[in-house]
Structure 1
Amino acid sequence: MDDRTSSSTSVHDFSTWEPVLRLLRDSGTREPTASRPLRVAGRIGRHGWSLPLRRRTTPPGRAAQVEDMREETEAVERVRHALADAGVDDISFTTRMETTGEAAVRLLARSPAVESGLGAHPGALLLVEGAVAEPWRRLPDPVPAAVPAPSADPALLERTLRERLPDAVGATEAELAHAQERLGVPLPEELKALYRVTRSRWEDWADDPDAPQRECVAVGFDLFPLDDLYIADAASRPCPWRFAAMEAVVTPPDAAVQGLVGSPGWIAFGDNGGGDRLAIDLTPGPRGHVGQIIMIGHEENVGACPVADSLTDLVMGRLNERRGGSNTDGPPAVGHVNIRSLPGIEAAAHPGLEVLSIGVWDSEPLSLAPAMGLPRLRTLTAYPGTLADPLEIARLTALEYLEIGPAEWRVLLDAGAVPRGLSAAAVTVHGSEDVLPVVSVANEILALWDRPRIIQTVVRGDLGPRGG
């Protein structure tokens, strides 16, 4: 067991949880009975919470007000303050409340080897310290024939910007050299030309509040200060395993930009004002230019869009219309088998398949036989009940990520057939599934890799009778 008795820490005091428990009991979806105690689960974090409450509806024509959630907010704040005092970001919990008023809260402390999940359920289990999904390990392919665009003109760029920003403070050669040393790559000549005109530091604008806006108009985007340039490699674009494992890196032969998570040749230097990063691309795709400008979307995990053939073009407003390649030269690396997509595993299977996702399925459970021997199949996710024989998973020898239901994990665990090449895993659950059995399965999986388990602490107390 991974249970521990209550400590003196305030997050483990019943009084800390009592207001939340009363809300869950008095405003919940049902009342406890003598034969059926009320069991609910939730999560409270320092930046948000998820509680299964039946909230009051607002009168027609009136928007929700702060006062409408005051009781809930005050109850949650007591727990959040305790989390802050304990240095804990969030905590999941399950409760059991009797009709007599007796209550027990089982706190599920986040393991450093477990990512956040939905509600109280654990997220992905990190079985190998520091491991990342394969797309985050992918480096750019060499494109020896790539050259700068004919439009790249550092002298024209610098001259134009000096005309637009005559009073700007530019970077010195020493500052440019320091930036290169910090980044570990030489700055492209166009980028040097830009920063020789303006280093874009706030202290340079202390007496001119309109200077930032003038600079944005002059260059056409929000320019980072020279000190904030960074390499937009894969590590700069973190993603939870549950999503990262479902991605695939593909670069079509007609692509201007390589379909990477990030690259040591992507130097981020600005923002479009909406959270998307602008970068100079020194590792272009087969049809791209060295030094082209790309946009790294904040809503995507992989890839970037070409914006301009050069920094000169970008500042001059000469944007291109290319949107990457369209010829994938083969079947997709990610196969979705479900009632609305591919009609079976046979339709998804091919030597280049990297990710197999089996979703909602209304026919007979599926055999994994068509996927046996696929050399690049690294991710398997399967909705509970969709696999005819979970033990077939053991024959998928290249898996690094596996996400299946509790029953399927139980079969593998009991047979000693959990693939030991996994770097991460997850337990798929239906929305209302009991949290504790899922945590138990997760802890068994973590134990196989000797990873930190999810610690459970039980806090008990008495709420008194309802309405009392």
Structure 2
Amino acid sequence: MVAQRSSPRSIDDFATWEPVLQLLRADHAKRRTAIASGRVAGSIGRHGWSLALQRRLPPPGRAAQIEDIQDEVDAVERVQGALADAGVDTISFTAEISPVGKTMLHLLGPSPAVEPGIGNPHPGALILVEDSRPEPWRRLPDPVPGAVPAVSADPQLLEQTLRERLPDAIGATEEEIAAAEVRLGVPFPAELKALYRVTRARWEDWGEDYEAAERVYAAAGCELFALDDLYIADASSRYCHWEFAAKEAVVTPPDARVQGLVGSPGWIAFGDNGGGDRLAVDLTPGPRGHTGQIIMLSHEEDTGAELLADSLTDLVLNRPSEEHGDHRADQPPVAAWVNTASLRSIEAAAHPGLEVLSIGVWDGTPFSLAPVTGLPRLRTLTAYPGTLADPLEIAELTGLEFLKLGPAEWRVLLDAGAVPRSLSAAAIEAHSQQDPLPIVAIANEILALWDRPRIVQTVLEGDLGPVA
């Protein structure tokens, strides 16, 4: 473990952390009565925090308010200010507090090679290959040479309808539209040009008049982006933590109208449905789709898009597309879950197209990985602690790019020198109550195999005094 003991930064000053530690100790003692010492842990970021505190319930009939946790907010904001000063986004910590208040505080990280943990002080995904992304985020659309605009696509009717609805709108010039095409690196379809010839949807054109904006949105059928705010909804526009992204899989059936993708260089995002879902013109449709069809990217999904209309004309005229195609029922899943509530054997999950295997909570005999050895597309394996009969079987899975295991399973691979070198990222499955220090030590061993920046541990000593 990389350690350091002194630094001029306020984030490394014990006094910065003392209010948080006092709150955790008091809460710990209150919930476990006789305990006035022990280990506490948590994580604090510039925009949120995770602390094991039992918050007071508000009075009956009243919702919780910030004042109900003001002491917690004040303590956390002190740390958040120090994080901002140090240019650090998130930091985890653990502390051992003696009965008389002597405290050893361990600050863990950050590391540019480690994503923050979610809701606990343990490290998130370890990025073993710099700038790497999971396979679905690298997937580009397949060419569809026969794709053409829908019969309903009618730029002239679209422009005429919008001018009737918005007679006073300020449209974009041809030069402005051409500049937007250059900025995005893709030529606009005729319908999109027709839309922005009528209105360029800039706030300054409306004089901050919300009613004028609402009229434009009603006319266009969505909360229309200004011409200057159009963007390409490619994979990079849909951020997802490595650990979750690695378990995603995208598929495009032969009768699909929209390609199964995270994003595409041919998805031009031009609006919002008012609920955070983005609308885009699709220039890379599925095998049964139309060039220029309108799709929606859900803010609740990390992959895929839903067909809304065969053309922008249909969207504006409120003629939604009839869904058909995209049938997958007869195909085995490319992402499979084996656990007490899903598939109950590795054999049931194994097939040549399997990409992701997640082994969850299991109360039976641990599994052998022999049924999936040699599968050509298996790239992700996650296994809950204790579910593998022999972790060394992982060495036979030569195409893995992501692996998540419990600490004991990682220990077996590390001691045997059997950590797959094909990995681009990895993660450690740990219970929220587990001491972060041994988990960080294993993480640093894995990072060292790829010569990646380790998680730095800063050790601070202080005295919280006796329990009040």
State the TM-score bracket (shorter-chain normalisation).
over 0.9
Counterpart for residue 265 of structure 1: 266
- The answer to whether 1:396 aligns with 2:390 is no
- The answer to whether 1:108 aligns with 2:89 is no
Cα distance in 1 between the residues matched to 2:191 and 2:130? 40
Counterpart for residue 63 of structure 1: 63
Asked if the contact 1:258/1:303 (under 8 Å) is kept, the reply is yes
Q: 1:131-170 counterparts in 2 under 5 A?
A: 131-170=132-171
Cα distance in 2 between the residues matched to 1:367 and 1:391? 10
Counterpart for residue 220 of structure 2: 219
Counterpart for residue 286 of structure 2: 285
* One-letter code aligned to 2:124: G
Counterpart for residue 432 of structure 2: 431
Counterpart for residue 311 of structure 1: 312
247-256 vs 347-356, greater mean Cα deviation: 247-256
C-alpha distance 160-57 of structure 1, shift in aligned 2 (>3 A): closer
Cα distance in 1 between the residues matched to 2:412 and 2:280? 48
Cα distance in 1 between the residues matched to 2:266 and 2:423? 30
- The answer to whether 1:97 aligns with 2:70 is no
Cα distance in 1 between the residues matched to 2:115 and 2:105? 22
Asked if the contact 1:44/1:80 (under 8 Å) is kept, the reply is yes
Counterpart for residue 52 of structure 2: 52
Using the TM superposition, give the Cα deviation of residue 6 of structure 1 relative to its aligned residue in structure 2, in angstroms. 2.4
Using the TM superposition, give the Cα deviation of residue 59 of structure 1 relative to its aligned residue in structure 2, in angstroms. 3.3
* One-letter code aligned to 2:13: D
Counterpart for residue 228 of structure 1: 229
Cα distance in 2 between the residues matched to 1:165 and 1:55? 52
Asked if the contact 1:306/1:324 (under 8 Å) is kept, the reply is no
Counterpart for residue 447 of structure 2: 446
* One-letter code aligned to 2:50: S
Cα distance in 2 between the residues matched to 1:148 and 1:340? 45
C-alpha distance 277-4 of structure 1, shift in aligned 2 (>3 A): same
Cα distance in 2 between the residues matched to 1:19 and 1:327? 55
Asked if the contact 1:305/1:324 (under 8 Å) is kept, the reply is no
- The answer to whether 1:412 aligns with 2:420 is no
Asked if the contact 1:252/1:328 (under 8 Å) is kept, the reply is no
* One-letter code aligned to 2:267: W
C-alpha distance 460-193 of structure 1, shift in aligned 2 (>3 A): same
SS of equivalent residue, structure 1 residue 210: helix
Counterpart for residue 10 of structure 1: 10
Q: Deviations 1:440-463 (Å, cap 9, x if unpaired)?
A: 000000000000110001111111
* One-letter code aligned to 1:111: S
* One-letter code aligned to 2:212: A
C-alpha distance 122-236 of structure 1, shift in aligned 2 (>3 A): same
Asked if the contact 2:90/2:116 (under 8 Å) is kept, the reply is no
SS of equivalent residue, structure 2 residue 451: coil
Q: Deviations 1:362-396 (Å, cap 9, x if unpaired)?
A: 10110000010000000000000000000000100
Cα distance in 2 between the residues matched to 1:248 and 1:63? 40
Using the TM superposition, give the Cα deviation of residue 70 of structure 1 relative to its aligned residue in structure 2, in angstroms. 1.3
Counterpart for residue 192 of structure 1: 193
- Seq. identity, %: 70
* One-letter code aligned to 1:137: R
Cα distance in 2 between the residues matched to 1:220 and 1:348? 43
SS of equivalent residue, structure 1 residue 339: coil
Counterpart for residue 25 of structure 2: 25
Asked if the contact 2:359/2:383 (under 8 Å) is kept, the reply is yes
Using the TM superposition, give the Cα deviation of residue 323 of structure 1 relative to its aligned residue in structure 2, in angstroms. 6.5
Asked if the contact 1:256/1:286 (under 8 Å) is kept, the reply is yes
Runs of at least 5 residues in structure 1 that lack an aligned partner in the other structure? none
- The answer to whether 1:39 aligns with 2:39 is yes
Counterpart for residue 249 of structure 1: 250
Using the TM superposition, give the Cα deviation of residue 74 of structure 1 relative to its aligned residue in structure 2, in angstroms. 1.2
Cα distance in 2 between the residues matched to 1:71 and 1:377? 49
C-alpha distance 156-174 of structure 1, shift in aligned 2 (>3 A): same
Asked if the contact 2:278/2:299 (under 8 Å) is kept, the reply is yes
Counterpart for residue 76 of structure 1: 76
SS of equivalent residue, structure 1 residue 75: helix
SS of equivalent residue, structure 1 residue 278: strand
* One-letter code aligned to 2:403: L
Cα distance in 2 between the residues matched to 1:270 and 1:68? 39
Query: Root-mean-square deviation (CA), in Å?
Result: 1.4
Q: Deviations 1:218-240 (Å, cap 9, x if unpaired)?
A: 11111111111111111111111
Q: Deviations 1:206-226 (Å, cap 9, x if unpaired)?
A: 275421111111111111111
Using the TM superposition, give the Cα deviation of residue 62 of structure 1 relative to its aligned residue in structure 2, in angstroms. 3.2
Asked if the contact 1:252/1:329 (under 8 Å) is kept, the reply is no
Asked if the contact 1:113/1:125 (under 8 Å) is kept, the reply is yes
Cα distance in 2 between the residues matched to 1:414 and 1:197? 67
SS of equivalent residue, structure 1 residue 261: coil
Asked if the contact 2:206/2:213 (under 8 Å) is kept, the reply is yes
Q: Deviations 1:29-57 (Å, cap 9, x if unpaired)?
A: 436759xx410110111111111123323
Q: 1:328-407 counterparts in 2 under 5 A?
A: 330-407=331-408
SS of equivalent residue, structure 1 residue 279: strand
44-53 vs 206-215, greater mean Cα deviation: 206-215
Counterpart for residue 296 of structure 2: 295
Using the TM superposition, give the Cα deviation of residue 64 of structure 1 relative to its aligned residue in structure 2, in angstroms. 2.3
Using the TM superposition, give the Cα deviation of residue 20 of structure 1 relative to its aligned residue in structure 2, in angstroms. 1.1
SS of equivalent residue, structure 2 residue 354: coil
Asked if the contact 1:95/1:103 (under 8 Å) is kept, the reply is yes
Cα distance in 2 between the residues matched to 1:65 and 1:305? 38
Asked if the contact 1:32/1:99 (under 8 Å) is kept, the reply is no
419-428 vs 56-65, greater mean Cα deviation: 56-65
Q: 1:114-125 counterparts in 2 under 5 A?
A: 114-118=114-118, 119-125=120-126
244-253 vs 24-33, greater mean Cα deviation: 24-33
* One-letter code aligned to 2:352: P
Asked if the contact 1:254/1:324 (under 8 Å) is kept, the reply is yes
C-alpha distance 249-66 of structure 1, shift in aligned 2 (>3 A): closer
* One-letter code aligned to 1:288: G
Asked if the contact 1:257/1:284 (under 8 Å) is kept, the reply is yes
Counterpart for residue 322 of structure 2: 321
* One-letter code aligned to 1:407: A
- The answer to whether 1:87 aligns with 2:87 is yes
Using the TM superposition, give the Cα deviation of residue 25 of structure 1 relative to its aligned residue in structure 2, in angstroms. 1.0
Cα distance in 1 between the residues matched to 2:149 and 2:54? 60
Cα distance in 1 between the residues matched to 2:412 and 2:34? 34
